[in-house]
């Protein structure tokens, strides 16, 4: 698991990691609130969630400094990693 987010590649790697962990995530959400739907149990321990929250804060900082949209960056990775890019247009392909 990543321990620090230093650049956009790390932001992308963190998004991939979250997809592999099986969570449907949003950059604004607190990882302490994530639960397994079927079991109604937390996805992460307090320590694990706090670590992910810290990494997400770093993602925001890195994206802001790089002039990148964190939401588009993470959505693009999430769509590609889950195969949903076959059904939902990628942010980089949509004209603004």
**What are the helix (H) ranges across 1-96?**
8-20, 46-66, 70-82
Reading the chain (96 residues) residue by residue, the pLDDT tens digits are 899 999 999 999 999 999 999 999 999 999 999 999 899 999 999 999 999 999 999 999 999 999 999 999 999 999 999 999 999 999 999 865
Q: How far is residue 39's CA from residue 26's CA, in Å, rounded to a whole number?
A: 21
pTM over 0.85: yes
DSSP letter at 58 equals H
């Amino acid at each position: 698991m990543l321990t620090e987010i230093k650049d956009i590649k790390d932001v992308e790697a963190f998004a991939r990691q979250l997809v592999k962990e099986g969570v449907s995530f949003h950059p604004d959400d607190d990882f302490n609130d994530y639960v397994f739907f079927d079991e109604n149990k937390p996805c992460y321990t307090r320590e694990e969630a706090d670590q992910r929250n810290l990494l997400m804060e770093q993602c925001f900082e890195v994206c802001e400094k790089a002039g990148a949209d964190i939401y588009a960056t993470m959505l693009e990775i999430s769509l590609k990693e889950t195969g949903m890019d076959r059904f939902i247009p990628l942010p980089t392909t949509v004209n603004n």
